[in-house]
Structure 1
Amino acid sequence: MTYRRSAGSPRGDARRRELLDLVTEDLAVNGLVDFSLRRAAKAAGTTHKVLLYHFESAEDLLQRAVAQLRERRIARGLGAAAEAPTLAGRVRALWPVLTSGESWVLDQAIGLAIYDADRHGGLARGGTQQYLPALVSLCPPAWSPERKTEVAAMILATLRGFLIDLRTSGGDPVSVDVGFAALSRALEREEAAG
């Protein structure tokens, strides 16, 4: 059965935001494992039919909630990086934000995308679309847009690798620390090259 969507009305948009906030909070606490429309409805204090009225599907709701968690993470990360004088320093300032709070939920999203790319690949693609502009904004202003994008893509891929390593090694930061030192040196050389 298809439900009428509430898009377009201010009241419908406000209700959709409210429901999304409640589901996002549930994800932040309980993670992505066993996510379902019924669990989301319970967290939002409503029924699955109401959720389907406001969202296209459980997958749509999940992707929007994960995107909202990422937006919070990005805002905290950019705030932490704002005072660092170098690109390497800004990236290093991001790291504690990337590994704290509900970061484990966002790491689960990467795992789901790897496990079932057909069903959950949008979770990883959405992450790239959200993180890349934030990382570009950390690059020196004098760099060309192409160079900023290339360096930001390298940083994103490297940090994702560090996160996976950290989560799969049982939390042992030794290899991540060594890798981070190498990344910092590479970014310092890149920035020194002008």
Structure 2
Amino acid sequence: MSRTTARRDTLAGAATDYVLEHGLIDLSLRPLAAAIGTSDRMLLYHFADKDDLVATVLRTSTDRSVAEIRALPRSPDVRTAVLDLWAASTTGQLDRCQRLYVEAAALGLFGREPHASVVREANVRWVEALVDHIVDAGTSRANAERAVALLDATFMGMQLDLPLDPEDPARSRLVEDLADAVASVAADVR
């Protein structure tokens, strides 16, 4: 790996950490550069433009999210897998990565690039990781794909609502109900 590539990777990691902390919508190169110990000119040397930097940050965040899911211990059954995935998705780095994804997806809905393209790429990788986790918990790939369609859409809706009332006691019941529903789909019970 060349020094330039290594430096770019280091800057990408630091920029991702910054964006996970401060958000994407008001991202400005100068404050970002100052926070990570470089200049905006050096960022533009290593990244073609701000859009290239944003796309790289989003891909780095996706890499981290997928790695977190793939690092989860195997769940003993599909129902437990849903509970494990929700617990992981709502804590630590994965929670921050999910929030960044929601922010990028919202911008992508308005056709903003690179958000729309990178979110589409992220969706493919994220769903593959979820499907693999559900398959490992004891169902077929076809059933897991159906189950993950329900799981992912519900998780995304809950991520949108979570900041509004994080202490809502109904949330725990909803996660339990989702676990039951996903387990039913994964078992192909109709």
Match of 2:50 among 29, 53, 58: 58
Aligned residue number for residue 14 of structure 2: 22
1:135 aligns with 2:130: yes
Q: CA deviation at 1:180?
A: 1.5
Unaligned runs of 5+ in 2: none
1:94 aligns with 2:90: no
CA change 1:33–1:193 in 2 (3 A) is closer
RMSD across aligned C-alpha pairs, in angstroms?
Answer: 2.6
Unaligned runs of 5+ in 1: 1-8
Match of 2:156 among 157, 160, 171: 160
Aligned residue number for residue 110 of structure 2: 117
Alpha carbons 1:37, 1:48 under 8 Å: kept: yes
Q: Which moved more, 1:24-33 or 1:105-114?
A: 105-114
Q: CA deviation at 1:69?
A: 2.5
TM-score, normalised via structure 2 length:
0.80
CA change 1:94–1:143 in 2 (3 A) is closer
Q: How does 1:41-80 map to 2 (within 5 A)?
A: 41-80=33-72
* Count of residues in Structure 1 that have an aligned counterpart in Structure 2: 184
Alpha carbons 2:70, 2:129 under 8 Å: kept: yes
Match of 2:147 among 128, 143, 151: 151
Q: Which moved more, 1:89-98 or 1:25-34?
A: 25-34
- Indicate the percent of aligned positions where both proteins have the same amino acid: 26
Aligned residue number for residue 185 of structure 2: 190
Q: Which structure has more RCO (C-alpha within 8 Å, separation ≥ 6)? A: 2
Instruction: List per-residue Cα deviations over 1:14-60 (Å, max 9, x = no partner).
Output: 11101111111212332334211222322332222222222222122
Q: CA deviation at 1:183?
A: 1.4
